[in-house]
Amino acid sequence: MSRVVIVGCGYVGLELGRQLAAADHKVTGVRRSDEGLAAVADAGLDAHRADATAPETLSGLPDADWVVFAASSGGRGADAARRVYVEGLRNVIDEYAGRDAPPDRLVYTSSTGVYGDHGGDFVDEETPIDPTTEKTRVLAAAERVALEGATDAGIEGTVARFAGLYGPGRYRLDRYLSGPVTEGYLNMVHREDAAGAVAFLLESDLARGDVVLVADDEPAKKWSFADWLAEECGVSPPPKRTVEERLAAESLSAAARRRLRTSKRCSNQRLRALGYEFAYPTYREGYRAAVEAFRSGADAASV
């Protein structure tokens, strides 16, 4: 049994905690709000209040063998992201590095957004990253903290680069059933597999000091995915538009325009080669529960 502390025990962290607790590890979920702490307790995990951006709150964190940093900046801008992902991560590393028995492992959950645009080509762990927005540059800086900063502190770090997360509460059926759907690729991973991959890397003691891309087996063309989803849900295919049509129709920030032009397909071959088995290898399996809920009469916005 290992002692695990999950800093930012939210959408993925709660599922990770449930999986690790089911495997008889002792799990503490760290949140900063009453609502967040209640969710941690409801998941059957030890709940601890702390804020990674406030170092004075971290001294009470329990000792740990493994630390997972999965905190969120709440969808805010680059400055907020830097405070959480870079400074907050560094605060957590510094807190644990100063202890008599520091953790053996740290996993930082990053994003495939750090790759930038690759014209629809495949990317993997060997592909140089090229973040195109200030926020994704912050994520790249946080990866360096997780690997280099953790190593300097005597803790071996791993970066898990997540593709787009989906699952309960985040299927977003309205977006794809109503449209219009803009062309491009979807790189996705179900919440259960995002958490499962992190648990696998920890329990199998793999990818120390390294990066692992966490995505499912099949990058999907958005138009094809939308048509499949509409057919499965028994509704008409949604309207579609090209990137240029969307740019002409909407007033977007420079960062949003860059994101819209960013195209890549994420390969999970390394994670597969390490031995991870997906619960939901593609969106077809992963969206089955959402399709069944919709067909049973649930509002798409609530699925």
What pLDDT digit, counting tens, does each position of 71-106 carry? 988 767 889 999 999 999 999 999 999 999 999 999
Break the chain into its structural domains and give their ranges. Answer: 3-166+189-214
Rounded CA Rg of the chain: 19
User: Region 127-145: what's the mean pLDDT?
Assistant: 93
DSSP SS3 for 276: coil
Tell me the pTM.
0.95
Residue 255 has pLDDT above 80, yes or no: no
* 78 token code pair: 């680059």
Sort strands 105-111 and 156-162 into parallel, antiparallel or unpaired.
parallel
What pLDDT digit, counting tens, does each position of 9-51 carry? 999 999 999 999 999 999 999 999 999 999 999 999 999 999 9
Given CATH 3.40.50.720, say whether it is the number of domain 3-166+189-214: yes
Q: What pLDDT is recorded for position 75?
A: 67
At residue 111's C-alpha, the angle toward residues 106 and 117, to 5°, is 140
Share of the chain above pLDDT 70, in %: 100
CA-CA distance, 240 to 257, in Å (whole number)?
18
Share of the chain above pLDDT 90, in %: 86
Q: What pLDDT is recorded for position 249?
A: 83
Under 8 Å CB-to-CB from 213, ≥6 apart: which residues? 112, 123, 124, 125, 161, 163, 266, 267, 268, 270, 271
Tell me how crowded residue 260 is: count the other CB atoms within 10 A of its CB.
Answer: 17
Tell me how crowded residue 274 is: count the other CB atoms within 10 A of its CB.
Answer: 15
Give the confidence band of 252 by pLDDT, cuts at 50, 70, 90: confident
Q: In what order do the strands lie in the sheet with 156-162?
A: 46-49, 26-31, 3-7, 66-69, 105-111, 156-162, 210-214
> Among the residues of the chain, which ranges form H helices?
11-22, 34-42, 78-81, 89-97, 134-144, 150-152, 173-178, 191-203, 222-233, 243-249, 254-261, 269-274, 283-286, 288-295
User: Region 260-275: what's the mean pLDDT?
Assistant: 95
